[in-house]
Chains A and B, each alone.
Chain A
Amino acid sequence: MSGGPSLMDSIFQRSLEDLIKSFRLHLPGGEPTVISKALDEIRREIRSTDLTTKAAALQKLTYLHSLHHADMSWAAFHAVELSSSAFLPHKRAAYLAASLSFRPSTDVLLLLTNQLRKDLTSTNHIEVSLALECLSVICTPDLARDLTPDLFKMLGSSKNLVRKKAIATTLRVFSQYSDAVRVCFKKLVENLESGDVQTVSATVGVFCELALREPRAYLPLAPEFYRILVDSRNNWVLIKVLKVFAKLAALEPRLAKKVVEPICEHMRRSGAKSLVFECVRTILSSLSEYESAVKLAVAKVREFLVDDDQNLRYLGLQALSIVGLKHLWAVLENKEVVIRSLSDADPNIKLEALQLVMAMVSEDNVTEICRVLITYALKADPEFCNEILGFILSACSRNVYEIIIDFDRYVSLLGEISRIPHCQKGEEIENQLTDIGMRVEDVRPELVHVGRNLLIDPALLGNPFIHRILCGAAWVSGEYVQFSTNPIELMEALLQPRTNLLPPSIRAVYIQSAFKVLTFCLNVAFLPNEAAYSSSSCPINEYSASPSFAGHESFADCEQDKFLNLRVLSQSVKAPSVKYGGDTAVNHVKTSASLPLRNDILTQKSVDKMFTLVKTALAPLVGSHEVEIHERVCNILGLLELTQNEITGCFSREKRNFESEELKAYEIIKMMRDVFSEEIGPVAVSARDRVPIPEGLVLEENLHKLETICSDVQFPISSSFFLGRPHSGERDGVSFFNRPIIEVSESSNESTLLTEHRKRHGLYYLPSDKKEVVSCEYPPANDIKMQDDITDDAEDLVKLTEQSLVRKKKPSQAKPRPVVLKLDEGDEISVAAEKPESKDDMVSGAVQELLYGSDAIPPSTQINSSDKLSSKRSGKVSEVNENVGNVWKSERGTPSSRKSKHHSHGKEREHRSSEKNVEVREENGQSNKQKSGHRHGRHKARQRADGVTNVVSQTPVIPDFLL
Chain B
Amino acid sequence: MNEDLKINITSSILISSSVYEVIIARGEAAGAHSKHLWSRAEKVSNFIRADSILGPDARLVYKTYATLYFVFIFDTNENELAILDLMQVFVEALDKCFSNVCELDIVFNFNKVHTILDEIILGGQVIETSSSEVVKAVEESYRCSSSNSSFTPVVRERLQRNYARNQIHSWLA
**A contact set with B: CB distance below 8 Å:** 10-12, 15-17, 20, 24, 50-53, 59, 62-63, 65-67, 69, 87-89, 92-93, 96, 100, 103, 124, 126, 129, 132-133, 136-137, 161, 164-165, 167-169, 171-172, 175, 198, 201-202, 205-206, 208-209, 212, 235-236, 239, 243, 273-274, 277-278, 310-315, 345-349, 872
Contact in complex: B24, A136 (CB < 8 Å): no
**B contact set with A: CB distance below 8 Å:** 1, 7-8, 10-12, 17, 20-21, 24-25, 41, 43-48, 76-77, 79-82, 84-85, 107-108, 110-111, 114-115, 118, 122-129, 133, 137, 140-141, 144-145, 148-153, 156, 159-160, 163
Whole-angstrom distance from the CB of B25 to the nearest CB of chain A? 7
> Bound state CA distance, A51 and B8, in angstroms?
30
Chain B neighbourhood of A212, CB < 8 A: 76-77
Known: A69-B1, A165-B122. A62 touches B148 (CB 8 A): no
> Bound state CA distance, A647 and B43, in angstroms?
71
Chain A neighbourhood of B1, CB < 8 A: 69
Contact in complex: B125, A171 (CB < 8 Å): yes
Contact in complex: A175, B10 (CB < 8 Å): yes
| Residue in B47, B84, B128, B163 whose beta carbon sits within 8 Å of that of A11 in the complex | B163
**A167-B127, A277-B79, A345-B44 given; 17 more Cβ-contact pairs under 8 Å:** A16-B111, A50-B150, A62-B111, A66-B17, A129-B137, A164-B127, A172-B10, A172-B11, A206-B125, A239-B82, A274-B79, A278-B79, A310-B44, A311-B46, A346-B43, A346-B45, A348-B48
> Bound state CA distance, A167 and B126, in angstroms?
11
Closest to A351 in B: B49
Contact in complex: A136, B123 (CB < 8 Å): yes
Contact in complex: B118, A133 (CB < 8 Å): yes
| Residue in B124, B141, B163 whose beta carbon sits within 8 Å of that of A171 in the complex | B124
Known: A133-B118, A171-B125. A348 touches B47 (CB 8 A): yes
| Residue in B43, B127, B141 whose beta carbon sits within 8 Å of that of A126 in the complex | B141
Chain A neighbourhood of B20, CB < 8 A: 66-67
Contact in complex: A310, B125 (CB < 8 Å): no
Known: A100-B17, A103-B7. A66 touches B126 (CB 8 A): no
Chain A neighbourhood of B8, CB < 8 A: 137
Contact in complex: B79, A133 (CB < 8 Å): no
Known: A67-B24, A87-B145, A346-B44. A208 touches B127 (CB 8 A): no
| Residue in A52, A103, A161, A310 whose beta carbon sits within 8 Å of that of B151 in the complex | A52
A-B contact pairs, 19 of them (CB 8 A): A52-B150, A52-B152, A65-B17, A100-B17, A126-B141, A126-B144, A137-B8, A168-B127, A169-B123, A172-B11, A202-B127, A209-B77, A236-B82, A236-B126, A274-B82, A310-B44, A310-B45, A311-B84, A315-B80
Chain A neighbourhood of B148, CB < 8 A: 87
Closest to B76 in A: A212
Contact in complex: A311, B80 (CB < 8 Å): yes
| Residue in A201, A277, A314 whose beta carbon sits within 8 Å of that of B47 in the complex | A314
Contact in complex: B137, A161 (CB < 8 Å): yes
Contact in complex: B44, A92 (CB < 8 Å): no
Closest to B122 in A: A168
Chain B neighbourhood of A312, CB < 8 A: 81
| Residue in A165, A273, A278 whose beta carbon sits within 8 Å of that of B127 in the complex | A165
Chain A neighbourhood of B44, CB < 8 A: 310, 345-348
Chain B neighbourhood of A133, CB < 8 A: 118, 122
Contact in complex: A208, B47 (CB < 8 Å): no
Contact in complex: A205, B125 (CB < 8 Å): yes
> Bound state CA distance, A345 and B76, in angstroms?
26
Closest to A176 in B: B10
Which A-B residue pairs are the 6 nearest by beta carbons? Answer: A136-B123, A274-B81, A88-B145, A168-B125, A66-B17, A346-B44
Whole-angstrom distance from the CB of A459 to the nearest CB of chain B? 32
Contact in complex: A67, B21 (CB < 8 Å): yes
> Bound state CA distance, A292 and B163, in angstroms?
82
Contact in complex: B159, A132 (CB < 8 Å): no
Chain B neighbourhood of A175, CB < 8 A: 10
Closest to A134 in B: B118
Contact in complex: B45, A349 (CB < 8 Å): yes
> Bound state CA distance, A278 and B79, in angstroms?
7
Chain A neighbourhood of B115, CB < 8 A: 92
> Bound state CA distance, A12 and B159, in angstroms?
9
Closest to B46 in A: A311
Contact in complex: A52, B123 (CB < 8 Å): no
Contact in complex: A171, B145 (CB < 8 Å): no
Whole-angstrom distance from the CB of B20 to the nearest CB of chain A? 6
Whole-angstrom distance from the CB of A295 to the nearest CB of chain B? 22
Contact in complex: B144, A88 (CB < 8 Å): yes
> Bound state CA distance, A206 and B11, in angstroms?
10
Closest to A103 in B: B7
Closest to B160 in A: A11
> Bound state CA distance, A126 and B139, in angstroms?
11
Chain B neighbourhood of A208, CB < 8 A: 77
Known: A165-B127, A206-B125. A92 touches B110 (CB 8 A): no
Contact in complex: B81, A50 (CB < 8 Å): no
| Residue in A66, A129, A206, A236 whose beta carbon sits within 8 Å of that of B110 in the complex | A66
| Residue in B81, B123, B144 whose beta carbon sits within 8 Å of that of A273 in the complex | B81
Contact in complex: A96, B127 (CB < 8 Å): no
Known: A11-B163, A63-B110, A206-B125. A92 touches B82 (CB 8 A): no
Whole-angstrom distance from the CB of A92 to the nearest CB of chain B? 7
Contact in complex: B43, A345 (CB < 8 Å): yes
> Bound state CA distance, A888 and B124, in angstroms?
33
Chain B neighbourhood of A62, CB < 8 A: 111
Contact in complex: A92, B149 (CB < 8 Å): no
Whole-angstrom distance from the CB of B45 to the nearest CB of chain A? 4
> Bound state CA distance, A346 and B45, in angstroms?
7
Contact in complex: B45, A66 (CB < 8 Å): no
Closest to A17 in B: B108
> Bound state CA distance, A48 and B30, in angstroms?
33
Chain A neighbourhood of B125, CB < 8 A: 167-168, 171, 202, 205-206, 209
Contact in complex: B111, A52 (CB < 8 Å): no
Whole-angstrom distance from the CB of B102 to the nearest CB of chain A? 14
Whole-angstrom distance from the CB of B31 to the nearest CB of chain A? 11
Whole-angstrom distance from the CB of B155 to the nearest CB of chain A? 9
Contact in complex: B129, A236 (CB < 8 Å): yes
Whole-angstrom distance from the CB of A14 to the nearest CB of chain B? 11
Chain A neighbourhood of B127, CB < 8 A: 164-165, 167-168, 198, 201-202
Chain A neighbourhood of B163, CB < 8 A: 11
Chain B neighbourhood of A313, CB < 8 A: 45
Contact in complex: A52, B149 (CB < 8 Å): yes
Chain B neighbourhood of A89, CB < 8 A: 145, 149
Whole-angstrom distance from the CB of B143 to the nearest CB of chain A? 10
Known: A52-B151, A171-B125, A310-B43. A315 touches B108 (CB 8 A): no
Known: A10-B151, A67-B25, A92-B115. A171 touches B123 (CB 8 A): yes
> Bound state CA distance, A96 and B163, in angstroms?
33
> Bound state CA distance, A172 and B125, in angstroms?
10
Whole-angstrom distance from the CB of B72 to the nearest CB of chain A? 14
Known: A133-B118, A172-B11, A274-B81. A198 touches B128 (CB 8 A): yes
Whole-angstrom distance from the CB of A852 to the nearest CB of chain B? 24
> Bound state CA distance, A172 and B21, in angstroms?
25
Chain B neighbourhood of A59, CB < 8 A: 111
Chain A neighbourhood of B124, CB < 8 A: 136, 168, 171-172, 209
> Bound state CA distance, A133 and B140, in angstroms?
16
Chain B neighbourhood of A11, CB < 8 A: 151, 156, 159-160, 163
Whole-angstrom distance from the CB of A421 to the nearest CB of chain B? 22
> Bound state CA distance, A169 and B80, in angstroms?
23
